[in-house]
Structure formats: structure tokens, C-alpha cells
Amino acid sequence: MQNNFQRHDRGEKRESNQMVFGIRAVIEAIDSGKEIESLFIQRGISGSLFLELKSLLKEHGLSYQQVPIEKLNRITRKNHQGVIAVISPIIYQHIEDLLPSIYEKGETPLLLMLDGVTDVRNMGAIARTAECAGVHAIIVPKKGSAEINPDAIKTSAGALYKIPVCREDSLGKTGRFLIESGIQLVVSTEKTKDSVYDVDYSGPTCIIMGAEDVGVSDDLIRISDKLAKIPMYGEIGSLNVSVSAAVVIYEAIRQRALGI
Ligand SMILES: C[S@@+](CC[C@H](N)C(=O)[O-])C[C@H]1O[C@@H](n2cnc3c(N)ncnc32)[C@H](O)[C@@H]1O
């Protein structure tokens, strides 16, 4: 049983968020490779079909929230059989698979890694800037990142449908993979004296932006090639992450356009 909330984008009908109700329907969604964004299961549910679902979740490493039936009834009046899944409206990719196609086009990778950006509007605004600037992909962690939901998509003006989003298990591992692939890691952070304008972005580059609360993880800072600070002259300690992303991305674009 499916319920599609659809939006219109340049006359095209697109899926923006999709809920799947019922155990069998959720099993089919997982089997067909759909990305489960969140999964709600009624507390105390049992039965052979549910056991089948549970083992499938284990096999795919998917987590779920156990909730009272009242919560499920508030989500839908349809017969949910104690299980509701929210399916991702976008298809996530992996940077390992994507990287060769960037080189094949003769382009120099410009990537953006978001280390725990959790605000959906920041995510949307960053995706919009990245898409407009021609960034090749956004990399996010599987856990601890903003959900790509209708609010994020709306704020992105549809950019989240256009720019590849790579969802990776570990950003540390992905960072190491990028280094091995000859891509420099540039951490955008207010916690350095090194200016964002002194970094050379002409080679393959991944710009790393930090979480709204704690910034970029120590692990990523440790392995990164450069730290880059946008100068600040006021009293507030940091800029908004989406504003910062725009400044750093456009410095990279400016340098590349001028052949600096
Ligand atoms: C709101 S800030 C995080 C501040 C947080 N209190 C911290 O401890 O890092 C979110 C992200 O925006 C970026 N950012 C904010 N101000 C910046 C600046 N002046 N220069 C470069 N990046 C900045 C960084 O990537 C930072 O991790």
C-alpha cells in the first residue's frame, strides 16, 4: 500500500516523499532496493511475517523505531499493520562509483563533504549553492545527517534531485579513500588562522563543512591537507554553515575560472 506526496518541478511530476504501509509492502520495498529513510514499527508486534521483516532489516543493517500504535494511527488512517516506512525521495550514490565518471568527462573533481549537517534547511541551501556552482557531488554520512525530506528538497529548489548525493558509512574512511585517489581535503573552519583565500583549489578538491553544533570531526581535521577560514571581524564566533559553504565553493570556482 503506497501513498505518494507529489510535487511539480518544471512541469514534471516527481516523487518527493513516499510512505509505505504494511509489513508485506515494506518487505517488497526493501527487496527492490528502495532507500528506507525511517521505519516505525508498532511496539509488541509479532507474527511470522514480522519475523521475516525483522531478519531482512538485520540483513540490510536497517534500524527502526518501536512506537505505540497511536503514533502510527496519527501518521495514517490506512491499514498499516503496525509498520510504516518512509522511503527516500532520492537515490543515494557512492563516491567510489562516481569518481571515474568525473575524470572520464575530463573534469577536475570538486566535492563537498558535510560532516554532520543536521538542519534540513541548511542541507537544502548548501545543495542549491553546490548545484549552481557545478560541484560534482555532496558526500554525507549514513548516520547523523539531515534527512533529505520535502523541506530540504524545497529549500534546495530541486537541486537535491540534480546533484549526486553520496551517503557513506564512515566519512573518515571516505576521506582516506579520497586522499588515496589524489584529492586534497580542505576543511572549512573558523578554528584556524589560515585564510580560505590562500588555499589553491585548482587540483582535485573536497571541501569539508562541519556540523552546526560541533564543527568538523577531529579525525577529518587530522587527515585533511588544509584548513581554511573565512575572515570574520565581528563578535559572533562563526558563520552559518550554508553561508560558509557558499563562500568557500565560490572561492574555488573563482580560482578555477581565472585559471589561478
Ligand atoms: C556554525 S559552524 C560550527 C561552529 C561550532 N561552534 C564549532 O565548534 O565548530 C558550522 C560550520 O560552518 C563552517 N564555518 C563557520 N564559520 C566559518 C568560518 N569563519 N570560516 C570557515 N568555515 C566556517 C565550518 O565548516 C563549521 O564547522
From the CA of 252, how far away is ligand 1's center (Å)?
18
Is residue 3 pLDDT above 60, yes or no?
Answer: no
Residue 195 Cβ contacting ligand 1 at under 6 Å: no
Three-state DSSP state, 239: coil
- What nine digits make up the cell of 242? 550554508
- pLDDT band at residue 238 using 50, 70 and 90 as cut-offs: very high
User: Residue-wise over 94-108: b if at least 16 C-beta within 10 A, else e?
Assistant: bbeebbeebeeeeee
Going from the N-terminus, what domains does the chain have, and what CATH number goes with each?
A: 2-87 (3.30.1330.30), 95-258 (3.40.1280.10)
- For the Cβ of 188 lying below 6 angstroms from any atom of ligand 1, the answer is yes
> How many angstroms does the Cα of residue 179 sit away from the middle of ligand 1?
23
Q: With contact defined as beta carbons under 8 Å apart, do 245 and 209 qualify?
A: yes
* Distance of CA 227 from the midpoint of ligand 1 (Å): 11
H or E segment to which residue 210 belongs: strand 205-210
Three state DSSP letters for 148-194: CCHHHHHHCCCHHHHCCEEEECCHHHHHHHHHHCCCEEEEECCCCCC
Dihedral pair phi/psi, residue 82, rounded to 5°: 85, 10
Q: What is the pLDDT of residues 8-20, one digit of tens each?
A: 333 333 344 588 9
Where b means 16+ CB within 10 Å and e means fewer, 13-23 reads eeebbbbbbbb
For ligand 1, whether the C-beta of 241 sits within 6 Å is yes
Q: Ligand 1 pocket: which of 236, 238, 248, 249 to mutate (most atoms <8 Å of CB)?
A: 238
- Dig out the grid coordinates for 237 from the structure: 564566533
- Name the residue with cell 564512515: 170
Residue 59 and residue 125 in contact, taking contact as beta carbons nearer than 8 Å: no
CB 159 within 8 A of CB 195: no
Q: Is the pLDDT of residue 4 over 50?
A: no
- Structure ipTM: 0.98
Would the pLDDT of 33 be above 90?
Answer: no
- Ligand 1 within 6 A of 230 CB? yes
What percentage of the chain exceeds 90 in pLDDT? 79
- Residue 65 sits at φ, ψ, to 5 deg, of -105, 130
Q: Is 210 in the pocket of ligand 1 (CB under 6 A)?
A: yes
Q: Which atom of ligand 1 is nearest to the CA of 228?
A: 21
CA-based nearest residue to 22, from 79, 76, 62, 70: 79
Please provide residue 32's backbone torsions phi and psi, each rounded to the nearest 5 degrees: -85, 10
Q: Rounded to the nearest whole angstrom, what is the distance from the C-alpha of residue 194 to the centroid of ligand 1?
A: 14
Give the model's pLDDT for residue 40: 95
Of all protein residues, whose CA lies closest to atom 22 belonging to ligand 1?
A: 189
Ligand 1 pocket member 232 (CB < 6 A): yes
Give 200-236 pLDDT, tens digit per residue.
Answer: 999 999 999 999 999 999 999 999 999 999 999 999 9
What integer best gives the mean pLDDT of the chain? 91
**Ligand 1 centroid vs 134 CA: distance in angstroms?**
23
pLDDT value for 17: 57
Q: Give the Å distance between the CA of 175 and the centre of ligand 1.
A: 19
What are residue 203's phi and psi, to 5 degrees? -85, 180
Smallest CA-to-CA distance from 202 within 126, 118, 107 is with 107
Kindly state if the Cβ of 209 falls inside 6 Å of ligand 1: yes
